């Protein structure tokens, strides 16, 4: 199958590209390399260095590659950036996304798979784990722009017959995550600082919890969505809340880190306790997470060890 992955040079998108190529698909990446890296792009994929905000460029890439399926990962993906500049967030996530949808319709794409968020849509959830039908009340412009695009997908299906599957991700961690990013990419930041023996500050008292899923499990969900889940919205998650203190302890063991953490002020607008029920994805996509937290953290620490050693050499 010919699949175009937008954002395929980024953290999660690059794992999805690798999984599609390993499954024998022909893949092209559309990315402007704003946060992604060319070195993340699988050598078997072609790279179109294009900004999704530029409709003519997007149309040209689609016309050249002629994808059957579009997997849309390109985004302004950081919550704090969306708070600081909601206009930019909407330009990329809404207007850019609409350019991808227009080009999909014009080039007879069969289906769009969209990487949405579970963590930034529900505010402080009424129940944990929250289901996909939980009331939507985003605390950030990022959550709102992702939800707006989900709504456009419904419109494009009804009006133009463009099929879609929306995958609402939990907190994803793994190799290639940017540990220098502003956003609280907790595993990448903790692992890299612990390996380097640097002091660490936990935002708040560390009792806040998140649903942590390894990027390898996200890749298998995107494989499943190629054939299943048309018109559906699915949590791609573990359903289990893990506290930040627990992550700290597990990573400290793996990295033999001896320093105690410092505790700073909690981040404004942060949810306190969240996890996302994944039963629907299990039933309808035939997907479930396979990488246990301890194993996922071990793989991630190994990656950062090698990455840090390479960048020092």
Ligand X SMILES: NC(=O)c1ccc[n+]([C@@H]2O[C@H](COP(=O)([O-])OP(=O)(O)OC[C@H]3O[C@@H](n4cnc5c(N)ncnc54)[C@H](O)[C@@H]3O)[C@@H](O)[C@H]2O)c1
**Tokens in use for 207?**
């009792």
Residue range at the interface with ligand X (CB under 6 A); choices 69-77, 127-135, 254-262, 300-308:
69-77
Q: Mark residues 252-281: x for contact with ligand X by CB under 6 A, - for none.
A: ------------------------------
What backbone phi and psi angles, to 5 degrees, belong to 72?
Answer: -100, 100
Contact 224, 285 (CB under 8 A): yes
Strands 46-49 and 111-117: unpaired
Nearer to ligand X, 9 or 257 (CB): 9
Residue 217 makes contact with ligand X by CB under 6 A: no
Residue 92 makes contact with ligand X by CB under 6 A: yes
Residue 13 makes contact with ligand X by CB under 6 A: yes
Cα gap 303→312, rounded to integer Å: 14
Q: Select which of 142, 173, 234, 257 is catalytic.
A: 142
Residue range at the interface with ligand X (CB under 6 A); choices 20-28, 32-40, 149-157, 186-194:
32-40
Residue 75 makes contact with ligand X by CB under 6 A: yes
CB of 230 to ligand X, least distance (A): 20
Question: Helix 293-312 to helix 186-195 angle, to the nearest 10 degrees?
Answer: 50
Strands 2-6 and 69-72: parallel
Nearer to ligand X, 140 or 257 (CB): 140
Of the candidates 203, 216, 206, 176, the residue with the CA atom closest to the CA atom of residue 192: 176
Residue 35 makes contact with ligand X by CB under 6 A: yes
Residue range at the interface with ligand X (CB under 6 A); choices 72-80, 121-129, 253-261, 297-305:
72-80
Question: Helix 244-255 to helix 186-195 angle, to the nearest 10 degrees?
Answer: 30
Residue 73 makes contact with ligand X by CB under 6 A: yes
Residue range at the interface with ligand X (CB under 6 A); choices 45-53, 204-212, 224-232, 240-248:
45-53
- Dihedral sign, CA of 289, 294, 300, 302? negative
Which listed residue (2, 22, 34, 154) binds ligand X by CB under 6 A? Answer: 34
Nearer to ligand X, 111 or 257 (CB): 111
End-to-end CA distance of the chain: 40
Residue 138 makes contact with ligand X by CB under 6 A: no
Contact 139, 269 (CB under 8 A): yes
Residue 219 makes contact with ligand X by CB under 6 A: no
**Tokens in use for 165?**
């599957």
Using the structure block, give the residue that is written with the tokens 């479930």.
288
Binding to ligand X in span 141-200, by CB under 6 A:
169, 171-172
Confirm whether 142 is a catalytic residue: yes
The strand pairing partners of 29, in sequence order, are 5, 47
Nearer to ligand X, 54 or 253 (CB): 54
Residue 12 makes contact with ligand X by CB under 6 A: yes
Q: 5 exposed, middle or buried (CB, 10 Å; 0-12, 13-18, 19+)?
A: buried
Binding site for ligand X (CB under 6 A): 7, 9-13, 31-36, 51-53, 73-77, 92, 96, 115, 117, 169, 171-172
Query: Known catalytic residues?
Result: 142
């Amino acid at each position: 199958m010919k699949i175009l992955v937008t954002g395929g040079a980024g953290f999660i998108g690059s794992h999805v590209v690798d999984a599609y190529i390993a499954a024998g698909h022909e893949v092209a990446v559309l990315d402007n390399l704003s946060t992604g890296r060319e070195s993340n792009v699988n050598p078997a994929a072609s790279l179109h260095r294009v900004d999704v905000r530029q409709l003519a460029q997007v149309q040209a890439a689609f016309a050249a590659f002629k994808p059957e399926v579009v997997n849309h990962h390109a985004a302004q993906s950081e919550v704090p950036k969306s708070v600081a500049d909601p206009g930019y967030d909407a330009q990329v996530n809404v207007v850019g996304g609409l350019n991808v949808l227009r080009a999909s319709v014009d080039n007879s794409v069969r289906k769009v798979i969209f990487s949405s968020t579970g963590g930034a849509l529900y505010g402080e959830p009424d129940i944990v784990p929250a289901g996909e039908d939980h009331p939507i009340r985003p605390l950030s412009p990022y959550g709102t722009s992702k939800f707006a695009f989900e709504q456009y997908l419904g419109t494009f299906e009804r009006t133009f017959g463009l099929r879609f599957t929306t995958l609402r991700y939990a907190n994803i961690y793994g190799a290639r995550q940017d540990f220098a990013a502003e956003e609280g990419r907790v595993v990448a930041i903790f692992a890299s600082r612990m390996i380097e023996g640097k002091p660490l500050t936990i935002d708040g008292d560390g009792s806040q919890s998140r649903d942590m899923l390894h990027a390898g499990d996200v890749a298998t969900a995107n494989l499943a969505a190629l054939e299943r889940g048309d018109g559906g919205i699915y949590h791609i998650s573990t359903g289990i809340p893990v506290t930040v203190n627990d992550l700290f302890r597990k990573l400290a063991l793996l990295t033999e880190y001896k320093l105690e953490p410092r505790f700073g002020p909690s981040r404004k607008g942060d949810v306190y306790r969240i996890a996302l029920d994944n039963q629907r994805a299990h039933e309808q996509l035939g997907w479930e997470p396979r990488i246990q937290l301890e194993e996922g953290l071990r793989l991630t620490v190994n990656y950062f060890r090698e990455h840090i050693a390479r960048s020092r050499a």
